[in-house]
DNA sequence: CACATTTGACCCCG
DNA sequence: CGGGGTCAAATGTG
C-alpha cells in the first residue's frame, strides 16, 4: 500500500496537493509501522533486538503524525514539519524592524474606550505584517507563557471554526509586536493550529523557559514513559516568507463562539513544561484537551532539526532534544 | 475603574 | 473584488 500511485493521484501529477497526499500516506504508513514495532517492543521490554529502539520508534510515530497533521491542515504546502516535542522558548534574537508601533505606544491599551472619539475614519488603518516571520504549530491547548489579548475573531472561508486574533498584552506598554492566530482544526476540533507572528520584544513577567526538555533521555523518556502521554503540541510548520517567530503566552480568552474555548489556558502551562522532564503527568493524548502539555515548537526560519543518532535536534537558537 | 472580549466596520493585498 | 487582518466602540468581568 505504500504505493500510492496512480490511483490516489487522480489528478495531475504536478498537483502539489497530490504530493501532499502522498506524503501524508507515506508518513502515516511509516508511523503505523513504527507504532507496530513499538507495540511489540513494549510487550517485550527487555528485548532490544529490533533495529530501532522504542524511543526511536516513538520519535518516528510522532513525526509521522505531526507531519500528516501539518500536511492536512495546511493547504499551503510550504511547511516543514517537525516533530518533536518541546520547547523552547527562544531567545528572541533580532527583532525585525518593522512595526513601528502604529498606535501611540504609550497609549496603553485603554485607548479605545477612553472616550477618545477615535476618529472613525481611522478604522481599518493598520499595517499588515507581511514581512513577519511566522511559525505555526498544532496544539491541543492554546496557551503559552505570554499574556495575550484577543483583538479579533473572524470566520474564514472554508474553515468551519472562526479564527481568533491575539496580540501581546504589552503591545502598547512595551511595543511588543507579537501576535498569534488561533484556528481550530476542522478535522480535529480538539486541536488548534496556532500561528505566531512576530517576536516578543516585551519583557514578560512570566518568563519563558528556554528549553524545557533537554537532553538526554530523561526528558523525552519521562515524558512518554507514562502511558499515553503525548505531546500536546506538535510543531507544524514554518512559513518561510515571513520572518520571525516567537512564542508566547497564555490565553485567557475563551471565545465564546466555538472557537477555541481556550479552555484551559492555564498560565501554569509553561511551568509545567519546564518540569516535564520530571513530571509525569502530561497530556493524555493528542485529542484530549488538557492543558498541560508539552509544547513542541518549531522555529521558524532557521529551524533545523533532524534525528541524529537517537536524538532529535533542533537548531535554532536553542533547541535540541534527545530521545 | 481598569482591562478583556465581542463584533461590525474598514482597509490591504492578491 | 473579496478574503483576511486589524481597528475600535460597545459590552462584559472582577
Proximity of residue A93 CB to strand C below 7 A:
no
Which residue has the least CA–C1' distance to nucleotide B10? Answer: A124
The mean predicted confidence, pLDDT, of chain A is 52
Residues 259-318 of A with CB under 7 A from strand C: none
Chain B bases near protein Cβ (<7 Å)? 2-14
Q: The cell 481556550 sits on which residue?
A: A262
Q: Are the CB atoms for A198 and A250 separated by under 8 Å? A: no
Q: Rounded to whole angstroms, how far apart are CA atoms A178 and A198?
A: 5
Give which of A312, A307, A298 is closest to A133, Cα–Cα.
Answer: A298
Residue of A66 and A292 predicted with greater confidence = A66
Q: Rounded to whole angstroms, how far apart are CA atoms A70 and A57?
A: 20
Render pLDDT for A16-63 as a digit per residue (tens, 0 to 9).
445 555 666 666 777 777 777 777 777 665 544 566 667 676 666 666
Domain ranges of chain A: 16-73, 76-108+127-323
| Nucleotide C10 C1' to residue A36 CA (A) | 56
CA distances from A248 to A2, A78, A202, A218, A309 (A): 39, 23, 11, 25, 31
Render pLDDT for A266-281 as a digit per residue (tens, 0 to 9).
333 333 333 333 333 3
A4: its cell numbers:
500510492
* DSSP of A191-209: -EEEEEES---S--SSPPP
| Nucleotide C12 C1' to residue A257 CA (A) | 15
Q: Rounded to whole angstroms, how far apart are CA atoms A185 and A259?
A: 10
Chain C bases near protein Cβ (<7 Å)? 3-12
A204: its cell numbers:
514578560
Nucleotide nearest to A113 (CA to C1'): C9
Which residue has the least CA–C1' distance to nucleotide B11? Answer: A124
Give which of A69, A103, A90, A105 is closest to A211, Cα–Cα.
Answer: A90
A182: its cell numbers:
488561533
Total length of chain A: 323
Return the bridge partners of A235, or none. A137
Proximity of residue A102 CB to strand B below 7 A:
no
Render pLDDT for A76-99 as a digit per residue (tens, 0 to 9).
333 333 333 233 333 333 333 333
Residues 28-87 of A with CB under 7 A from strand B: none
Render pLDDT for A173-191 as a digit per residue (tens, 0 to 9).
777 778 888 988 878 888 8
Return the bridge partners of A168, or none. A148
Cβ-based neighbour number of residue A148 at 10 Å:
27
Amino acid at each position: 500500500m505504500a504505493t500510492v500511485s496512480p490511483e490516489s493521484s487522480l489528478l495531475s501529477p504536478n498537483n502539489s496537493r497530490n504530493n501532499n497526499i502522498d506524503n501524508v500516506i507515506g508518513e502515516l504508513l511509516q508511523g503505523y509501522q513504527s507504532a507496530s514495532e513499538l507495540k511489540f517492543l513494549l510487550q517485550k521490554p527487555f528485548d532490544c533486538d529490533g533495529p530501532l529502539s522504542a524511543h526511536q520508534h516513538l520519535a518516528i510515530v510522532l513525526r509521522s503524525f505531526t507531519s500528516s497533521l501539518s500536511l492536512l491542515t495546511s493547504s499551503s504546502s510550504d511547511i516543514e514539519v517537525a516533530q518533536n516535542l518541546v520547547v523552547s522558548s527562544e531567545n528572541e534574537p533580532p527583532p525585525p524592524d518593522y512595526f513601528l508601533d502604529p498606535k501611540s505606544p504609550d497609549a496603553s491599551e485603554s485607548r479605545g474606550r477612553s472616550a477618545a472619539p477615535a476618529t472613525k475614519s481611522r478604522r481599518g488603518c493598520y499595517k499588515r505584517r507581511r514581512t513577519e516571520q511566522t511559525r505555526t504549530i498544532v496544539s491541543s491547548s492554546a496557551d503559552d507563557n505570554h499574556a495575550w489579548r484577543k483583538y479579533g475573531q473572524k470566520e474564514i472561508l472554508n474553515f468551519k471554526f472562526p479564527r481568533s486574533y491575539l496580540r501581546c498584552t504589552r503591545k502598547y506598554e512595551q511595543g511588543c509586536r507579537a501576535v498569534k492566530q488561533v484556528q481550530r482544526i476542522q478535522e480535529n476540533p480538539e486541536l488548534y493550529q496556532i500561528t505566531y507572528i512576530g517576536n516578543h520584544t516585551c519583557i514578560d513577567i512570566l518568563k519563558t523557559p528556554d528549553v524545557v526538555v533537554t537532553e538526554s533521555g530523561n526528558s523525552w523518556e519521562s515524558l512518554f514513559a507514562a502511558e499515553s502521554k503525548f505531546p500536546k503540541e506538535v510543531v507544524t510548520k514554518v512559513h518561510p516568507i515571513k520572518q520571525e517567530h516567537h512564542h508566547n503566552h497564555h490565553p485567557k480568552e475563551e471565545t465564546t463562539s466555538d472557537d477555541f474555548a481556550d479552555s484551559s489556558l492555564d498560565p501554569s502551562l509553561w511551568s509545567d513544561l519546564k518540569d516535564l522532564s520530571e513530571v509525569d503527568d502530561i497530556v493524555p493524548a493528542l485529542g484530549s484537551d488538557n492543558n498541560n502539555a508539552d509544547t513542541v515548537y518549531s522555529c521558524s526560519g532557521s529551524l533545523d532539526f533532524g534525528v541524529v543518532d537517537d536524538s532529535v535536534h533542533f537548531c535554532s537558537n536553542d533547541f535540541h532534544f534527545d530521545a
